Amino acid sequence: MASTADFKNGMCFMFKGEIYSIVSFLHVKPGKGPAFVRTKLKNVKTGRVIENTFNSGVKVDDVRVERRPYQFLYRDEMGLNVMNNETFEQISIPAEMVENNDLMKEGQIIEIQFHAEEEIPLTAEMPDKVELTVTSTIEGEKGNTASSTALKPATLETGAEVMVPMFINEGDVIKVSTSDRSYSERVKQ
């Protein structure tokens, strides 16, 4: 058990039957009345952020959460199969747990957050940017290839489709942002 005096950013605890992480907090001591703590909490599973006020000294049930790197192996009807590189333990997680999982290729490292006592995977995150090869795209129009504002669709080696500038050709390796699926840059080879 922890109290509001133990609050710090990133701390996880049970609140209303769910695991929440503290995004920010502020101890307030008004001139009249008891002290309290104003917090912004993020639901670990859904990512939803809420605001809540706790009376000073309230006890909360803290939860130990661990982040571990896992390597993506393959996908099947069970979901995404990943392996811990230290213990070589393989687990399967639901594909919905990883946002934009169609940008993942075999060997990709992802971070999985676990409830440490129960060994339950809570969330999984890809790196900010991934490098992928363009397998098919249309040819850029003559005179329209110098500008990076004109975009065209491209299919990547994982089968995902993203919009890329006109100067990108088949076989080019590009960096793609995993948060919004946007083109970032062409990788020099």
Please tell me the distance from the alpha carbon of residue 136 to that of residue 12, in angstroms, as a whole number: 44
Same fold, 65-125 and 129-186: yes
- The answer to whether residue 120 scores a pLDDT higher than 70 is yes
Which tokens go with 21? Answer: 């992480």
Confidence of residue 47 (pLDDT cuts 50, 70, 90): confident
Architecture of domain 129-186: Beta Barrel (2.40)
- The answer to whether residue 184 scores a pLDDT higher than 60 is yes
How does pLDDT run across 154-174, given as a tens digit for each residue?
A: 999 999 999 998 888 899 999
> What CATH number should be reported for the domain whose range is 65-125?
2.40.50.140
Domain coordinates in residue numbering, the chain: 2-62, 65-125, 129-186
Class of domain 2-62 (CATH, top level): mainly beta
Residue 170: name the closest of 134, 124, 127, 117 by CA.
Answer: 134
Tell me how far CA of residue 127 lies from CA of 70, 81, 82, 86, 119, in angstroms: 12, 17, 15, 19, 22
| Statement: the pTM of the whole predicted model exceeds 0.85 | no
pLDDT of residue 117: 86
Which are the contacts of 30, defined by CB distance < 8 A and separation ≥ 6?
none
Average pLDDT over residues 29-46: 90
Residue 109: name the closest of 144, 135, 70 by CA.
Answer: 70
Mean pLDDT over each residue of the chain, to the nearest integer: 89
